[in-house]
Every structure is written in structure tokens, then in C-alpha cells.
Copies of this chain bind each other. A is one copy, B any other.
Amino acid sequence: MISVVILGAGNVATHLFRGFSLAENVSVTQWYSRNLTTVEQYKNEVDITDDLSDLKVADVYIIAVSDDAVAKLSSKLEFENRMVVHTSGSVGIYDLDKKHNRGVFYPLQSFTKGAAMDFANVPICIETVDKKSYPLLKTLAKNLGSPVQKVNSDQRRVLHLAAVFVNNFTNQLYRIGHEITESEGAEFDMLKPLIVETAKKIEDLSPYRAQTGPAKRHDKKTIKKHLKQLDDNNHHKAVYELLTKSIQKTHGRKKL
């Protein structure tokens, strides 16, 4: 049985609490939040506290607070030589106070408190300063039902950056699709099956091979028509032009 203390009460902390509660070989010993009201509703399921000097002994302490608060919170923990991990894609492992046995337990997904999440779809990226601690974190992730990957700090930073492209930026393209359709009385809902299909397609095919459309075909006539349609929105036009150029850079010149 692995005992865990969760610190923080945001999106990630809440999902981890739920995930560990379902796990057979993990028990959540305590849940710390600086603001007790945020965890009050769980007080019958777990010991809650807002007092760092009151923390119980556990195998792993998981700091799931805002990136900027990770380092300071780790230094305020009043014990030494215990396993302390954070859950951030961009905070360094050495930002944790060196009195601890340090690690990273980064879940590569987009969490929101309200929406359900199956941990089978949450790859956990693990890093440890002391390599002897890796198996413990691996077992912890396996107990969530998550795929696990050993990932060093450089790789983690790069995954986090790539996640911005495939998650935040992709979502903004959906938003532009929404703006374009609704402005002409068309229904954005009609695009949803295409959106899901586009995401699923790359499960078997590389994004390189999955590419289609006027940019890749260097179909100048259609591109020109589209730019004309976007004439009254310079901003959407700039996105269209840059991503068309990007596709053409990736796929090279049209063969004649």
C-alpha cells in the first residue's frame, strides 16, 4: 500500500484524489489546501488540513499547486528525506527543495475540475533525482491505470510546449471555425464529426501522411477564393496565410 499526501486543491489535485481513491494499492492519507473550504466536501473521505505543520507521514507528497508556488511550498515542508514530487510540465525538478527526495509526476492531459477523466488516457511522465525512487512513482501511476513514461526535464519541457500547439492552439482553430461559420448562419455543430475524425486519424497515420487540402495540393484557385472570403477579417486571414505557408514548408513544392 502506497500512502500519499496531496497538496493543492485545483484541477489536478482533485482528479488525482479521485483517481487514487479508486486505486487498490494507494491510500490518500491526507489532503492539504491553504484554503480549507475548497476540500471541505471531502472531509468524510479523507483527513483534510490547511496547516503545513500538521502534515502526516506518507510515502509520497504530491504538490499540485500553481507553477509559481511549487518551489516555495516545497521549502516550507517541515520534514526531510521524504519523497516530494510536483505535477508541472514546466517547473524544473531542482526547483523542489533539496532537503527532499525529489521527483516529478507530470500528467500529460488537460484537466478541468468538472469534467470526468479516465486515467487510462493520461500518460504520466516521471522523473526522479534518485533513480532508486523511480519504481515507487511508476507503481503509483500504474495504480491510476495510466501509461507511464520516464521523461527527463528537457523532454518534459518539450512535451509541455508541444501540448500548447496540439491543445491550446488547436482549440483556437476550433474557435475560428466557430466564428467563421456562425457569422454566416452556418452551424458549427456540423464540423464536430470532422474535428473528432481529424484527431483520430493520426492514431494510425503520422500527421505528415494525414495531411490533405488546398495548401498541400498547392491549389492556388481555392486558396485565393478562401482568402477573399476572409477579406473582412485580417486576423483570420493572417492565420490562414501562415498555416498555409507552414503546410507548404512541410510538404515542399508541388511536383510538376
Binding site for B on A (CB under 8 A): 67-68, 90, 108-110, 112, 115, 121-123, 125, 149, 151, 154-159, 161-178, 180-181, 183-188, 190-203, 206-208, 210-216, 221-222, 225-226, 229-230, 235, 238-240, 242-243, 246-247, 249-250
Contact = CB atoms under 8 A, between A and B. Distances in A.
Contacts of A191: 108, 159, 162-163, 166
A151 B125 CA distance: 46
Copies of chain A in the complex: 2
Contacts of A221: 68
A170 B211 CA distance: 10
A164 B214 contact: yes
Contact of A195 (B149, B192, B199, B216): B199
Contacts of A162: 176-177, 180-181, 186, 188, 191
Given A165-B180, A213-B167, A190 B247 contact: no
A165 B181 CA distance: 11
Given A159-B181, A194-B108, A242-B238, A169 B173 contact: yes
When A and B form their complex, which 8 residue pairs have the shortest distance between CB atoms, in order from nearest? A168-B213, A199-B199, A174-B207, A175-B207, A162-B177, A155-B186, A158-B184, A121-B193
A122 to B, nearest CB: 7
A216 B176 CA distance: 15
A155 B211 contact: no
B121 A190 contact: no
A194 B167 contact: yes
Nearest to A214: B164
> Which of A151, A168, A214 has most chain B Cβ within 10 Å?
A168
